[in-house]
Amino acid sequence: MAKQFFVLGIGGTGMRCIESLIHLCAMGMFDDTIIHLLALDTDKNNGNFGRLKELKEAYLNAKGLKEQDRVAHKDTFFSANIKYYEFSPDYEKKSSFKDVFNYGDTQFKNSEETDLADLLLDRNVEEFNLQHGYRAQPHLGSMMMYQSIVEAAQSNDRNGIKDFVSALITETTSGKAKVFILGSVFGGTGASSIPIIPQALSQAAQVKSNGNAAILPNTYFGSTLLTAYFNFNIADKDQIEQQKVIATSDKFALNSKVAMMFYDEDATVRSIYQRFYMMGTSDLSWNPMQSTSNKNTKTITGGAEQKNDSHYIELFAACAALDFLNYNDNNLQQNKNNFKTDYVYRAVSNDYKFEFKDFVGTTREKEFAKKLGCLVAFALFNNGVDDFVEKARSGEDKEIVGFDGIDPSQVIYLKQYFRLFFAKMIEGGALEEGWLRQIHRSAGGGDKFLLNAELFAPQTMKDLMKFAWNKNLYRSEGIGKDNKYKVYITSSKFNKFKDAFLDKLNNGKDTGIANPGERIYKIIYDTLTELYNF
């Protein structure tokens, strides 16, 4: 029976961490798992939120166009079944704290309440527009987010909070649930939400179940404590006057330090969370909007323009979620009984050359290498000249039969996923970076990140198609150095793969997968892992 896992991504950083988690799912790292995935952000028009939704649509529909056709599998690509939910507080009509608080009426009827608000919040914090998030004001954001989640549970309308909480109630009724939160502690929305999410979910469940749900005693909670790892342009005087409150990256390191002191000292937080994953970088020079920074010198506070590039630390965060899912329940229960929280971290080498074990530990490093490399190979021969799955579906390749039941749209979504995963061809045949190429660049480029530097060198689709992924996928040392396959001078890397695929198709054991799209993914997976000698 598939495992159930509940994950929340909060704020802009949380959205990018979810992206990395979905890519891990596509590799097959979350085998035999149903992931209930809640994207939670105040800024529903945020560019990273939009990119996440595009990725989510590509993943789900590459798995199957109908929800009932999507099930969790093992030892294949796209093995996890994702149940996706999203929620954004409605700040369209009431867009500031004063609006939400009904400050004018409250001041007239209960002036002591507005006096308390004025004591705790300065005027700009009370008046700035909440639609772009809480802007490094977690003292305000925690209160606002808690209220929004509870109000969503009380609403008569269907929404992502109610659906997510309903699934969580079902899981805690029959056993223990695991909830993992992805977000930062140095900004606004994530920093505001991590401390209050367990209580907010518990209260929402109480509302939804008429007081019958017991979320807190039957749930293990884990979270990232993701500290500062990037910077952005400092706002000018005019922009500050207009926006009233703007987060500034020069304060991120201080915000991170204060936040970590809070998590270390707050007894309530430590009594609810069983495991914290501490992570960050010593270098804050990463500009997440490098590709557009020369076009816009203003600070982007949110909206569609805020589409930050992916960073390797977000992959670390997604791997932390993977670790929490597989962490021993008995140890988590012991922590829960003793009101104890484990603080864990993983260091990398001083030269910042990343190894597979840095992300998943030594027990899973070979699995991670296998699944990442094979997904890259699948992307290369299915999103360029060869277009393997479409040729099998359409009957263009006469030797491959049995896949005419794949819906053409499923193949389109598969190709869209690979464009988001690795690269997309744009005007003139040039390549636009996908997630993996951005991650490689954030790690310093060259041979510092897991795979062969030659994989990331091509700048056009034509040059990319020349890359010898059969023998040059991995670096020349470490895990993967011996995982390659040769081709004879009369053949090609693709033809050798196709011959091995046909042998699996015609002579291999039954996959047991009914969906023809997922069946071909499974055979491709088995073929590649065998060719690469894993």
**216 contact partners, CB below 8 Å, separation of at least 6:** 198, 199, 202, 272
SS3 label, residue 396: coil
pTM score: 0.89
Give the separation between CA 198 and CA 215, rounded to whole angstroms. 8
Specify the pLDDT at position 301. Answer: 45
Report the interhelical angle of 435-442 vs 312-326 (nearest 10°).
110
Give the separation between CA 442 and CA 516, rounded to whole angstroms. 37
- Which H/E stretch holds residue 333? helix 329-337
151 vs 124, more confident: 151
What is the pLDDT averaged over residues 216-231? 87
Q: Count Cβ atoms below 10 Å from residue 175 Cβ, excluding itself.
A: 9
Specify the pLDDT at position 94. Answer: 64
Give the separation between CA 302 and CA 291, rounded to whole angstroms. 17
Give the separation between CA 528 and CA 521, rounded to whole angstroms. 11
pLDDT digits (tens, 9 = 90+) for 27-42: 999 999 999 999 988 7
Specify the pLDDT at position 316. Answer: 96
Question: Percentage of the chain with pLDDT > 90?
Answer: 59
Q: Which residue in the block uniquely carries the two structure tokens 């009932």?
A: 68
484 vs 249, more confident: 484
Specify the pLDDT at position 308. Answer: 83
Quick one: pLDDT band at residue 317, thresholds 50, 70, 90? Answer: very high
Query: Cα dihedral sign for 247, 249, 254, 259?
Result: positive
Name residue 430's beta-bridge partners: 460
Specify the pLDDT at position 474. Answer: 96
State yes or no: pLDDT of 128 exceeds 60. Answer: no
Average pLDDT taken over every residue of the chain: 85
CB 142 within 8 Å of CB 196: yes
pLDDT digits (tens, 9 = 90+) for 12-26: 889 999 999 999 999
What single DSSP character describes residue 472?
S
pLDDT digits (tens, 9 = 90+) for 426-450: 988 899 999 999 999 999 999 999 9
Give the separation between CA 333 and CA 63, rounded to whole angstroms. 35
Q: Give me 333's structure tokens.
A: 């229960």
Q: Output the CA angle 513-508-22, nearest 5 degrees.
A: 45
Closest residue by Cα to residue 469 from 496, 501, 440: 496
Q: Output the CA angle 197-199-205, nearest 5 degrees.
A: 100
Q: Concatenated DSSP letters for 120-182?
A: HS-HHHHHS-GGG--TT-HHHHHHHHHHHHHHHHH-SS--HHHHHHHHHHHHHHHS-EEEEEE
What is the pLDDT averaged over residues 497-508? 94
Give the separation between CA 89 and CA 435, rounded to whole angstroms. 28
Q: Give me 527's structure tokens.
A: 């073929």
Q: Which residue in the block uniquely carries the two structure tokens 């012991």?
A: 334
For residues 212, 216, 220, 224, the Cα torsion angle rounded to the nearest 10 degrees is 130
Residue type, 534: F
Gyration radius (Cα) of the chain, Å:
24
Quick one: pLDDT band at residue 299, thresholds 50, 70, 90? Answer: very low
**416 contact partners, CB below 8 Å, separation of at least 6:** 54, 58, 62
Residue type, 253: A
Closest residue by Cα to residue 370 from 162, 183, 530, 165: 530
CB 341 within 8 Å of CB 276: yes
What is the pLDDT averaged over residues 460-482? 93
Give the separation between CA 29 and CA 371, rounded to whole angstroms. 7
Q: Which residue in the block uniquely carries the two structure tokens 């999410």?
A: 197
Q: Which residue in the block uniquely carries the two structure tokens 């074990």?
A: 357
Residue type, 362: T
State yes or no: pLDDT of 363 exceeds 80. Answer: yes
Query: Cα dihedral sign for 246, 252, 254, 260?
Result: positive
Give the separation between CA 478 and CA 522, rounded to whole angstroms. 27
pLDDT digits (tens, 9 = 90+) for 71-99: 999 999 999 999 999 998 876 666 666 56
User: What separation in angstroms does the CA of 192 have from each of 10, 42, 139, 331, 431?
Assistant: 9, 11, 7, 28, 38
Q: Count Cβ atoms below 10 Å from residue 514 Cβ, excluding itself.
A: 10
Specify the pLDDT at position 362. Answer: 95
State yes or no: pLDDT of 118 exceeds 90. Answer: no
Beta strands in 383-473 (DSSP E): 423-425, 431-433
Closest residue by Cα to residue 178 from 328, 28, 60, 74: 328
SS3 label, residue 85: strand
What single DSSP character describes residue 222?
E
SS3 label, residue 37: strand
Region of residue 63 (left: phi > 0; alpha: psi -120 to 50; beta: else): alpha
Q: Which of 91-100, 134-143, 224-233, 238-247 has the highest mean pLDDT?
A: 224-233
